Amino acid sequence: MAKWGQGDPRWIVEEREDGTNVNNWHWTERDATSWSKGKFQDLLVGIVVENDAGRGEISELKQVEGEASCSSRKGKLIFFYEWYIKLGWKGIVKESGVKHKGLIEIPNLSEENEVDDTEVNVSKKKGDGDILKDLMKTAGTAKVRQALGDYLKALKTEFTTGMILPTKAMATQSENTLQVQASSPVALGVRIPTVALHMMELFDTSVEQLYSIFTVKDLVQKFSKSTAVLEAEKGGKFQMFDGNITGEYLELLTNKKIVMKWRCRNWPEGQTELQLDCKGVPVCKEENMKFCWQKQHFEEIKGLLQLTPPNG
C-alpha cells in the first residue's frame, strides 16, 4: 500500500511520556469510496482536448467500481484504492463537421501502479473518425492521467483533513460525555471550532443487557477488546480502551439511564435505543468520530450482545 505524510510537518507526532494517543496515534480508518466517486465526476467529466483536426470531450462517467480508504497509524497515513472506471467521450471532426462517440476505460487505478503507468484504453464506435480516436488516445489520455493525479493529491490532502493534527502549535484536547449526554469542552491551548454530535442506534436486546454493557467490567473489556477499570456508581471513575478513554459516571439509574463523562486522549458511541450526544467535538473530527463509534464500538457491542446471555 502507498504511504503518505512521511516528513510532512502537518503530520508530525511527538512522543509523550504519559502515553497520550495524540494525532490518531492508534489505528483509525475512514472510507473514501463515496467521496472518490464524486471526485471522479468533478475531475474527469468535462475534460476537453483539441487540435487543428478536431475536438474531443469526456461527456459522461458511465461506470465506477471499486473502493478507497485511508487509515492512520502511529502518525502515518496509509491509503488503499482500487478502481475500474469507464468514461464516455464525444467529438467532432472540424473539416467535415461529423460527430463521433467512444469510450475510455481505466481497468485498474490502484496504489500498486504510478499514475503515469496506469492503463488507459480508448475506443470508438465503428465508422470514420480515427482522427478523433487518435486525439483522445494522445492528448486525451494525458489529461485523464493528470486528472487521476489530481484525485490522488486530493485524497491525500483534502480528504484526510483532521485525521492527523499538528502537535506543537495547535494541539488541544476536549471533553465530552456519553449519553447514554455530554459536557462542554475543555480547550487547552489554541481555540478550535467544535460541533455538537447526536447519534441514535437500535439494539436487538433488552434494556438490562445494554445497561450492563457499560457497567459490567467483563462486558466492557469484551466489547472494547482491551483492559478496563471501572467503578459503576455515581461519581465513580472509569478507564477504557487501555486507558485511552477516561471519565466518570455522572448519573446511573439502574436499567434506565447512564450519563458518563468521557475524555479521549487523542483529541487537540424487543430493541433498546441508545442515544449518543457529544458536545465539543472538533469540527475536523466529526466524521471520524461518527465512523469510530459506528464501526469500532456499536458494531462490536452488537456482536457481543449476540453471544451474551440475557443476564450477562
Q: What is the DSSP string of the chain?
A: -EEE-TT-GGG-----TT---GGG-S-EEEE-HHHHHHHHHHHHTT-EEE-SSEEEEEEEEEEEEEEEEEEEETTEEEEEEEEEEEEEEEEEETTT--EEEEEEEEEEEETTS-GGG---EEEE-SSS-HHHHHHIIIIIHHHHHHHHHHHHHHHHTTTTTTTS--SSSS----EEEE----------SS---EEEEEEEEEESS-HHHHHHHTT-HHHHHHHHTS--EE--STT-EEEETTTTEEEEEEEEETTTEEEEEEEETT-----EEEEEEEEEEEGGGHHHHHHIIIIIIIHHHHHHHHHS-TT-
Q: Coil, strand, or helix at residue 144? A: helix
Q: Coil, strand, or helix at residue 226? A: coil
Residue 90: which of 47, 52, 53 has the closest Cα? 47
DSSP state of 292: I
What predicted TM-score, i.e. pTM, was given to this entire model? 0.47
CB 152 within 8 A of CB 142: no
Neighbouring C-beta atoms of residue 190, cutoff 10 Å: 11
Give the pLDDT of residue 168. Answer: 42
- pLDDT tens series, the chain, 312 aa: 444 444 444 444 444 444 444 444 455 778 899 999 999 999 999 999 999 999 999 999 999 999 999 887 666 788 889 999 999 999 999 988 999 999 999 999 998 888 888 999 999 987 777 899 999 999 999 999 999 999 999 888 888 776 554 444 333 334 444 454 433 444 344 445 567 777 888 888 889 999 999 999 999 999 888 889 999 999 999 998 888 888 899 999 999 999 998 878 776 545 677 888 888 888 888 888 888 888 888 888 888 877 766 555
Give the pLDDT of residue 276. Answer: 84
Residue 11: which of 67, 70, 81 has the closest Cα? 70
Helix, strand, coil percent content, the chain, rounded in steps of 5: 30, 35, 35
Let me know how long the chain is. 312
Give the pLDDT of residue 92. Answer: 93
Give the pLDDT of residue 43. Answer: 95
CB 45 within 8 A of CB 59: yes
What are the cell numbers at 157? Answer: 490532502
- Residue 6's Cβ-side half-sphere holds a number of Cα atoms within 13 Å equal to 5
